[in-house]
Chains A and B, each alone.
Chain A
Amino acid sequence: MRSFRVLATKELMNLLRDRKLVFGLVVIPLVLFPLLGQFTSMGLSSAQGVTKVAVVNMDSGSYGGLLVKTLNASPNVSLTLISAGSVEKAIEKARDMGQNVLVVIPPDFSKRLSSSETASVQVYGIFTRVGAGMKESVSEGRINSVIQLLNREIAMIKLKELGINNPKALVEPVNATSYSVVKGRIVKVPPSAVAAALSSQAFSVPLIIFIMITLTAQMAAGSMAAEKENKTLETLLTLPVSRTTIVASKVFGTAVMGLIAALAYMIGMKYYMGALSMKTNVSLSSIGLGISPAGMVLLAIVIFLAVVFSLSLAMLIAVFAEDVQTASTLVSAVVLPLAFPSFILMYTSIYSLPACIRWLLLAIPFTHPIVDYRKLLMGNYSFVILSVLYLTLIALVTLYVTARVFSTERVLTAQINWGRKRWDD
């Protein structure tokens, strides 16, 4: 135990003092993600800002005036009335004035509505520079909402004129009130709000797990290959310490560093998401989808075991690499194809997939933290316990195989170097 503690401390100290590593794993996510969120948020705020609407009212009737009045009363809309003889002239004027949208009310607008015919309004989104087009899209949406509101009002006025006492009942004959059923319990929240709350974790959990797995795997491979590159491996292997202790201490040291990095990523992501206002008013716990303290412990165990598997596998691969760069390439080639398939769970539940794909995904240890997180939200502990057993088995087997390979001279002689073996004199 003393040897393990000494080796693990050295491993951690060595990693924490690697400025490049700390900068890439801790500083960047803590600084870059929130900054990225702020910038994106600024862009979104700008798109959500006041829509400058130019209106050409060629109609002399009352309905044209009503539309202008309704547009003027709409929130986030700044209205400018312009006069122009043709649509082309109006567009030119609106563009020169820096307007986002031009609404053209035709001369027969009121006449057609008065004679119970459909009247048209032309809406032009004015693109003055190449961007994401979000501002123009938002503006168009606002105008359409106003038109919709106007349609409803005009329909009600017409119905009243026809002597209908309760026109609203005809315009909106069905009124739907939405609820959600979560874990068999009715919650007074519409499914869209529950879906919004769930969607934030549907993307972030697989992404964080993926980042954590790949980062720690790269670190472990780098740590092992650096022993070769810096010529410290031979000394390490002749110390009075078992090879299993050496491998286990490296796994532990790298896992702790990996967890620190994961924490930095989670904090960075939280700020990123927060800046994007992806938070919903509905929290998962308020609709009965929280994870209990016992569930959190189980989840931590699952993540830890998946990381141990990843680290052991990376070290096993790194044994065959001659230097850090080769190790990094080899680990990417093996770990990434194992970690990518879990991305499918961003878009669907594992139970929506065909059985063969489902079992294939479940065979990959990296899928389990994502599936288990969802199971724990639903309070399904038995699946998670089975998951823990499976991950324990596979992590121990990989750790054992790595320690076995580490106990042989292959660790010194088996090096990927154009297929040749190293020759000692």
Chain B
Amino acid sequence: MGEKAVEVVELRKDYGKRAALRGISFNVRKGEVFGVIGPNGAGKSTTLKILATLLKPTSGEARVFGMDVVDNASRVRRVISYLPEEAGAYKNLKGIEYLRFMAKLYAGDDEKAEDMVKRGIEISGLGERLNDKVATYSKGMTRKLLLARALMVMPKLAILDEPASGLDVVNAYEIRKIIKDFSRKGVTFIVSSHNMLEVEFLCDRVVLMNAGSIVDSGTPHDLMAKYEADNLEEVFMRATCAGTDADTMQMRLSGCEHEEL
């Protein structure tokens, strides 16, 4: 558990004049499920996109299994699998064709690709519906297909942005169960969510983000004990209101107002 899967050091990202990340640092250990939590606009997706080699940081460093995400982007892409928050699949392909297409890009030969597809079929739980075009899928079915795509390749690091976003209770539960199962199989996860109860159930450790900064980090249990809270939602509200960082003053203020409501 001690080896670092992800190292983020003083990471900063600016979109024009606006700072999306203000120099955040954290580590993810190999094999753990690591949660990045915070409200909309906290910088979760930007952090994950930098780790997925989609965005380049303005300053600071991010490494995945020791490889810099900027200098070794193509090598990083070989060990990660990224599931964006708002993702789709090719509508004119059948579910099974989509899985096969993705598997062939990761596997060196057809045999390995078929093994991946078999795993994908199992993860998706879509059965015969995999023979239908993606265009006919519900949101929950598409999300399961995408999660199956992300995990069937057995990545060293799975980066999942709001994996259960917008899903009903049953689908969200199934997806969380799949993540837990694959964590036990050795896949490291970094998961973002604004659903703090979900993260509490899923994650070994979390960072609390607000307005591009990290407010606090630790295991859900330790954080709840530290803030004398019953759940991570309370932890987040107390952490953001009690902090002293001048940069997050505005968000803390809005958080306290929210709490008063």
| Contact status B93-A235, CB under 8 Å | no
Minimum C-beta distance from A11 to chain B (A)? 9
Given that A14-B90, A17-B92 are known contacts, is A238 also in contact with B20, CB under 8 Å in the complex? no
Q: Give the contact stretch, choosing among A2-10, A87-95, A255-263, A277-285.
A: A2-10
| Contact status B105-A238, CB under 8 Å | no
| Contact status A13-B77, CB under 8 Å | no
Beta-carbon contacts of B91-103 to A below 8 Å, as 1s and 0s?
Answer: 1110001000110
Task: Give the complex CA separation of A232 and B42 in angstroms.
Answer: 24
Task: Give the complex CA separation of A13 and B101 in angstroms.
Answer: 11
Interface size (B, Cβ < 8 Å)? 42
| Contact status A230-B15, CB under 8 Å | no
Chain B facing A: main interface SS: mixed
User: Which residues of the partner chain B approach A418 to less than 8 Å between Cβ atoms?
Assistant: none
User: Which residues of the partner chain B approach A232 to less than 8 Å between Cβ atoms?
Assistant: 87-90
- Which of B43, B53, B74, B146 meets A242, CB within 8 Å? B74
User: Which residues of the partner chain B approach A423 to less than 8 Å between Cβ atoms?
Assistant: 15, 18, 20
- Which of A231, A242, A412 meets B54, CB within 8 Å? A412
Closest to B16 in A: A421
Given that A18-B92, A232-B89, A240-B106 are known contacts, is A409 also in contact with B44, CB under 8 Å in the complex? no
Is residue A413 within 8 Å, beta carbon to beta carbon, of the partner chain? yes
Is residue B84 within 8 Å, beta carbon to beta carbon, of the partner chain? yes
| Contact status B54-A237, CB under 8 Å | yes
User: Which residues of the partner chain B approach A153 to less than 8 Å between Cβ atoms?
Assistant: none
| Contact status A240-B40, CB under 8 Å | no
- Which of A7, A231, A242, A425 meets B42, CB within 8 Å? A425
Task: Give B84-125 interface residues, CB cut-off 8 Å to A.
Answer: 84, 86-93, 97, 101-102, 104-106
Task: Give the complex CA separation of A337 and B86 in angstroms.
Answer: 36
| Contact status A13-B97, CB under 8 Å | yes
User: Which residues of the partner chain A approach B54 to less than 8 Å between Cβ atoms?
Assistant: 234, 237-238, 409, 412
Is residue A239 within 8 Å, beta carbon to beta carbon, of the partner chain? yes
| Contact status A231-B105, CB under 8 Å | no
How many chain A residues sit at the interface, stated as a range, is: 20 to 34
A10-B93, A240-B78, A409-B54 known, 11 other contacts, Cβ within 8 Å:
A18-B92, A231-B86, A234-B82, A235-B82, A235-B84, A235-B149, A238-B53, A409-B56, A425-B43, A425-B45, A425-B46
Task: Give the complex CA separation of A412 and B45 in angstroms.
Answer: 13
B residues sitting closer than 8 Å to A (CB atoms) are 15-16, 18, 20, 40-46, 49, 52-56, 74, 77-78, 80-84, 86-93, 97, 101-102, 104-106, 133, 146, 149
Is residue A172 within 8 Å, beta carbon to beta carbon, of the partner chain? no
Given that A238-B54, A242-B74, A425-B40 are known contacts, is A231 also in contact with B92, CB under 8 Å in the complex? no
Is residue A117 within 8 Å, beta carbon to beta carbon, of the partner chain? no
- Which of A230, A235, A242 meets B91, CB within 8 Å? A230
User: Which residues of the partner chain B approach A412 to less than 8 Å between Cβ atoms?
Assistant: 49, 54-55
User: Which residues of the partner chain A approach B53 to less than 8 Å between Cβ atoms?
Assistant: 237-238
Closest to B91 in A: A230
Task: Give the complex CA separation of A9 and B106 in angstroms.
Answer: 16
Is residue A66 within 8 Å, beta carbon to beta carbon, of the partner chain? no
In this complex, which of A239, A241, A409, A424 has the most chain B Cβ atoms within 10 angstroms of its Cβ?
Answer: A424
User: Which residues of the partner chain B approach A10 to less than 8 Å between Cβ atoms?
Assistant: 90, 93, 101
